[in-house]
Amino acid sequence: MTDVIDAVLGERAEAVREVRRARPAVFAHTQGVYDALLDGPATAAVGRDRLIATAVAVAELAGAPELAAHYAAQGGRPDPGDPVLAAVLRHAARVTEVPASLGRADIDALAAVGLSDRDIVTVSQLIGYVHYQARLLAGLGVIGAADE
């Protein structure tokens, strides 16, 4: 069984398969969160295209180009003039680059473009999850390189 991490790793997934399968709950939940964020009930309100664009941006900012490419390949081309997307991308960049500086005004900026509290939680979960994926991929890359 493969998951999103295996898909991003491609041929390199084999080198870390045993390590990843040693923790079946982590393996399952990593995929479960991906599925819930991109295809779950909260996805529709924010918009799958916006979430994918956000995931691409976060992965790029986190230094995970292969992860960014994976998300970009998931389809969807949001309207670049979309004010909601612009606000979400600004928020994602701030969370990634200067997380300690965020405050109530950052949440209010998302609400001002029409995002509900639930939508803001969904966006925030996605940002955190993509960072988790980037770190996981970096760690697995080190493990895989050591095994070669």
pLDDT digits (tens, 9 = 90+) for 75-100: 878 888 999 999 999 999 999 999 99
Kindly report the average pLDDT of the chain as a whole number. 91
pLDDT confidence tier of residue 52, bands split at 50, 70 and 90? very high
Domain assignment of residue 58, given as a range: 4-146
Residue closest to 144 by CA, chosen among 2, 11, 3: 11
pLDDT confidence tier of residue 123, bands split at 50, 70 and 90? very high
Does the global pTM surpass 0.75?
A: yes
Q: Total domain count for the chain?
A: 1
Which CATH number characterizes residue 84's domain?
Answer: 1.20.1290.10
pLDDT digits (tens, 9 = 90+) for 20-49: 888 889 888 999 999 999 999 988 889 999
